Amino acid sequence: MSHDVSWLEQYMSDAKAGTLAAPPSAWWIVTRACNLNCYYCFADARKKDPDELDTAEAMAVLEDFAASGLMFVTFLGGEPLVRKDIYRLVDHSTDLGLYTALLTNGLNVREDKIDRLVDAGLEMIGVSIDSTEAATHDSVRGVRGSLDWTRRVVRHAVRRGVRTSVRIVVSEDSYESIPDLFRWAVDEGVEELILLPMFMVGRAAGGAEDRRADIVGKRLFLDSLRRLRRLGEPLGISVPVQETLACPQGIELRPPTDRHHHAGHAAGFELSSGCKVGRFMISVQPNGDVYPCPFVHTSIGNLRTRSVTDIWRSPLLRRARGEDLGCLARSMIHTGRADVADPTYRADAARLLAELPAPAEGGDRPAAGDLPFVPVDGLSLASHRARGEG
């Protein structure tokens, strides 16, 4: 890929200004079927939805995206490789000129599957990891051996020269392993690490302490970024540090001069820092419903009946373009509404926690390991098992 990204810089500048006719990026849950059972799954992926878009409908959506000027498409799930037509979708997407990525959990993904995706034009493959320790990762995922499969996918993708991304959801389970995962990704030649806060949506939601868990989880995420910055500095790796928003953060692990560095993808995501609602992305559900982002679970239209440019003009997205509302996922978690400002945005975490009702009996536990807070219900596999959900 060319390292001349001046055109992309202008495109993303227009996106930030809110002047594009369509979103730059779509994160598309192509199926909710999944072969794992992660307790924090934002998509609550279990089985295939009965009204999932079929191949012809999915192809039509891709054609609508290309005609609108949308540039990036990421297929995810559930597990997107469960769809038998995923290779056709990747091939069609890249033929239309869309920059196409895919996120997989890695389980049972043989090298030939990765080769088929790359041969179809896939530009980026991402996997998520919870720990360097198989016992922890496999417990969170609910399948023994899942960490070994994930590592194989990463290593083969790096060998194939496709942009490779490792994603870490910050939880009580992953927190202590994050520095080791960072070093492992660098040593493996991974190009990008993405750190994500744990949002109390999807399967993670429904506990009595969701609001408390969200505030504490946000603190844990921001602290993790600061720890990675200290680790990255001696290696020449720049780790952006957030102060107020706590939005998923990409970290480039290779210098832009590296011959394998996918400069276009990197520039696109670096320039879309901050909340992406209304400016940089939409999230597509298996049935074509469109959410403002993967963590804001409210429909603003359906691609079976409306074009992406029409949906992009929805009142909620217009408001998000015109105002700095913070994180609308947190608006939903704390108020039940996506059309109001995030009450945690630029707010003191200690004050927010003090204003919440006292934790339920037995809800507080002694701090464990290096956790910089008293753990709360909702941020660990153990707490979900205590609810009878794990």
Please give the residue range of the domain that contains residue 28.
Answer: 22-312
Q: What is residue 251's three-state secondary structure?
A: strand
The tokens describing 139, both together, are 């417990």
Residue 45 included in any domain: yes
CATH number at residue 164: 3.20.20.70
In 3D space, the residue among 71, 77, 7 whose CA is nearest the CA of residue 37 turns out to be 77
124-128 sheet: strands from edge to edge? 249-252, 192-197, 163-170, 124-128, 99-104, 72-76, 25-29, 281-284, 290-291
Q: Is the pLDDT of residue 196 over 80?
A: yes
Residue 242 included in any domain: yes
Residue 136 included in any domain: yes
* Model pTM above 0.75: yes
Mean of the pLDDT values across residues 185-203?
96
Residues facing residue 25 across a β-bridge = 72, 281
Residue 13 included in any domain: no
Give CA–CA dist 373/278, Å, rounded: 33
Residue 165 included in any domain: yes
Residue 155 included in any domain: yes
Q: What is the pLDDT of residues 118-165, one digit of tens each?
A: 999 999 999 999 999 999 999 999 999 999 999 999 999 999 999 999
Number of domains within the chain: 1
In 3D space, the residue among 236, 169, 144 whose CA is nearest the CA of residue 380 turns out to be 169
Which helix (H) or strand (E) covers residue 193, if one does? strand 192-197
Residue 366 included in any domain: no
Residue 30 included in any domain: yes
Give CA–CA dist 375/372, Å, rounded: 9
The tokens describing 63, both together, are 């054609």
Q: What is the pLDDT of residues 50-108, one digit of tens each?
A: 999 999 999 999 999 999 999 999 999 999 999 999 999 999 999 999 999 999 999 99
